[in-house]
Amino acid sequence: MRSTSRAWVAPVVIAVLVAFGVNSALSATEVAHDVALVALVVAASVAACALALSALDAGVRTGWKVRRSDALPGSGEDTRTAMYRHVIEVHQTSQNADDAIVWQIADLARHRMRQVHDLRYDEDPQRATELLGPVLAEWVSHDRRHRYVPDERHHRYSVGQLGEVLHRIEEL
């Protein structure tokens, strides 16, 4: 608010000086006039000129990239991590149980095991089970083609259960 009031100090001073000058000139020439009306017209004219000049101000430059004011700050996570986080959030807030979270986490574990230990589940199931634990190893053991079972009820995993599995993946 303070910077806005400072911006209007100069136009107010100019309006007062011009109004005083016009009223003095009209009084000196003995022209009948309304002092308040002349002051109001001068103030309105100076305000209109000040607004026009501020609108034409080319001093403020907008770059090619402007961050939206409602955009979230960058989290620093990569696209794959953001995708897995989104899938977990959807699983936790969904009304119906869905096993998509299980298969996304299994894919993550499969990639992580391959990156860190250069091991696939098919190559050494026993060592993979030792690394992943029994629950995660069971998820990784299934192929994509065998994931969907039409009449099977899906188990809804709690935040704690998913957290344990993800912690196991992080420990790889």
Token pair for 143: 């192929």
Which residue type, as a one-letter code, is found at position 110? R
Contact of 161 with 133, CB cutoff 8 Å = no
Residue 90 pLDDT class (50, 70, 90 cuts): confident
119: burial class by Cβ within 10 Å (0-12, 13-18, 19+)?
A: middle
Q: What share of the chain is helix, strand, coil (3-state, %, to 5)?
A: 65, 0, 35
Token pair for 70: 């409602």
Which residue has 């003995």 as its token pair? Answer: 30
Contact of 172 with 131, CB cutoff 8 Å = yes
User: What residues have CB less than 8 Å from 149, skipping those under 6 apart?
Assistant: none
Which residue type, as a one-letter code, is found at position 44? A
pLDDT tens-place string over residues 22-72? 889 988 998 888 888 888 898 899 888 888 887 777 666 666 666 666 656
Q: What is the pLDDT of residue 172?
A: 76
Q: What is the pLDDT of residue 129?
A: 87
Q: What is the pLDDT of residue 144?
A: 63
What is the pTM for the complete model shown? 0.44
